Structure 1
């Protein structure tokens, strides 16, 4: 037994090297999978590491390699609401990837121009890279990270060609979905969404608009309701919307859709008998609703895993392409006839 184990302290590389009669650099190269080591020596070191449950000193490794082995994951302030599963799924996907590659996640909660949490982490050299889970118009976080020259990846689509970004084709997906509705005889629609300045909502609206233009449907801007950011906003808007007798309520995302469905149920409307409902973003809540809601399905888990791998590749100095896109699928369910 090592003296370290007898004294209740951690086993070190020096302990392993001394027991095996090899150099500390040999043990280090085996542990870090670097350099050319004979197979028999490699096996002896690996067996010894396993038998003594050796765990690297993260602080020492960080100092030696000038890394923190931490990734900042920046989430918007409204991600703490229980009805926003997108961000929860993203955190799971990113965490799985970075943990498997020896890094840890540190959360930073910011919103819009408020980037204090992110700035502290970066300025204090507590992270090696950053993943932004939401982009905003003229994003202050992007500007700051570009100035700091720290590796980062954004989930969403940015017009800044220098930003490494992961998204799906929001415009094509929403256009295809709207075109499907129109071809099924749905011509009178109301579009309901949250923050109209968010790029993701702008791209969803663009797809909706393109489908209307393609089918020679005049898009009345008064039928597009934005900035419905709370349940009370939805409750105030829907009475006026329903007086126009729309055939379908088109929700920009799953949160808006969930609130719309709640109002409809409380006010005696049956879906789809009285009003049809679709969403430009799917979630388990919409899938399990009675009736299940027709929605555009994009895997937040797949997007976030891609983002996690990309930021680690950037940290390791690998070349990556700037734009990455995941697929989408239109889930036709019972809320739309």
Structure 2
């Protein structure tokens, strides 16, 4: 037998409004009546429809997950894993996830979702400097959280300890006797680039050395300069190419292969991010492993607490692992 609010109300001898108030937990009814309704719906295993639940709670039961519209295919392993964590945790809260593409090149989709009340809260998957996404959310009357350190006060965020992990990687390489390194980095408009750059420099400082600033090459995503930059870095004495992420590392591998250079015989190689993009690389690549799925899940939980009006403390996850592999032997 399919139960509706009307049928439940008739069965219990109550009004439809009273039943709705008991289910939603809102409105003035006696505790005896509320218990009567809740006991009955448990007995019949009643679950309100999404529309009825939404109307009763004044929520959409949707959260928006903002992805950058310019994310290249090589970046997708991270975003896909993050999304898996978000979606899995959202299911526990009986929420659905709406994917929204927005970045500094355009936020119209985000504006549409917020202003038309299609979502209850927003998670932003990437931090850009002077972010149009974050600036809009700060003014909008909607709970939100950012994945990545926004590097400004008052913005709730969750992040991996990218700076600390990069520092530890560089220290480990130096301890192995690898001291002449070139850094291949991403866009300067992305906050994680600056966190990883700070870690790169700090690793040298912690070992009483100084990074060669002439061997730091940023804005290398989607760059046609890669081959030229690598030849310059190697000619100037680099014995190891350090890449800020797996996408850059994969590009470096391809360039080195095309130039007839072998890893690690001719040049050593490592990455500040490990994903399945590098899982089949020969040789295996020394890299930093972060649990992006956990990051997404923990971020969603923070967002739900924010939505429920709780004070949310920013969280930095420090459970990274250094995967020492053949590329730095």
Same fold (TM over 0.5): yes
Does the 8 Å contact 2:246/2:272 carry over to 1?
yes
Alignment of 1:1-337 (within 5 A): 1=1, 11-19=3-11, 24=16, 28=20, 42=38, 44-49=40-45, 54-79=46-71, 81-112=73-104, 114-230=106-222, 232-337=224-329
Partners in 2 of 1:31 and 1:258 — Cα distance?
53
Cα distance in 1 for partners of 2:268, 2:165 equals 19
Aligned partners of 1:282 and 1:295 also within 8 Å: yes
State the distance in 1 between where 2:20 and 2:36 align. 16
Q: CA deviation at 1:33?
A: 7.9
Shift of 1:195: 0.4
Q: Is the 8 A contact 1:175 1:211 kept in 2?
A: yes
The answer on whether the counterparts of 2:161 and 2:316 sit within 8 Å (CA) in structure 1 is: no
- The CA distance in 2 between the partners of 1:156 and 1:309, in whole Å, is 16
Q: Say how many residue pairs are matched.
A: 325
Corresponding residue SS for 1:91: helix
Question: Deviations 1:41-62 (Å, cap 9, x if unpaired)?
Answer: 755432323xxxx542323332
Displacement of 1:31 in angstroms is: 5.3
What is the DSSP-based 3-state SS (H/G/I as helix, E as strand, rest coil) of the residue aligned with 1:318?
coil
Find the aligned partners of 1:48 and 1:178 in 2 and give their Cα distance: 60
Partners of 2:127 and 2:147 within 8 A in 1? yes
TM-fit CA distance, 1:322? 2.8
Using the size of structure 1 for normalisation, the TM-score is 0.87
Runs of 4+ in 1 over 3 A off after TM superposition: 19-44
Shift of 1:72: 1.0
1:197–1:20 CA distance, 2 compared to 1 (3 A): same
* Deviation sequence 1:80-132 (CA, Å, 0-9, x none): 62553111111111111112212211111112252221112112222111000
Write the distance in 1 (CA, Å) between the matches of 2:48 and 2:39. Answer: 18
TM-score, with structure 2 as normaliser: 0.89
Compared with structure 1, are the counterparts of its residues 40 and 58 closer, same or farther at alpha carbon in structure 2 (3 Å cutoff)? closer
Task: Tell me how far 1:161 sits from its aligned partner.
Answer: 2.5
CA contact (8 A) 1:31 1:46 kept: no
User: Alpha carbons of 1:80 and 1:106: their partners in 2 closer, same or farther (altered >3 Å)?
Assistant: farther
In 2, distance between residues paired with 1:22 and 1:59? 22
Structure 1: distance between partners of 2:15 and 2:44: 14
Identify unmatched segments of 5+ residues in structure 2. Answer: none
Contact 1:98 1:105 in 2 (8 A): yes
Q: In the alignment, is the contact (CA less than 8 A) between 1:113 and 1:139 conserved in 2?
A: no
**Alignment partners' CA distance in 1, 2:91 and 2:74:** 25
Q: Kindly state the Cα deviation for residue 229 of structure 1 after the two structures are TM-superposed.
A: 1.2
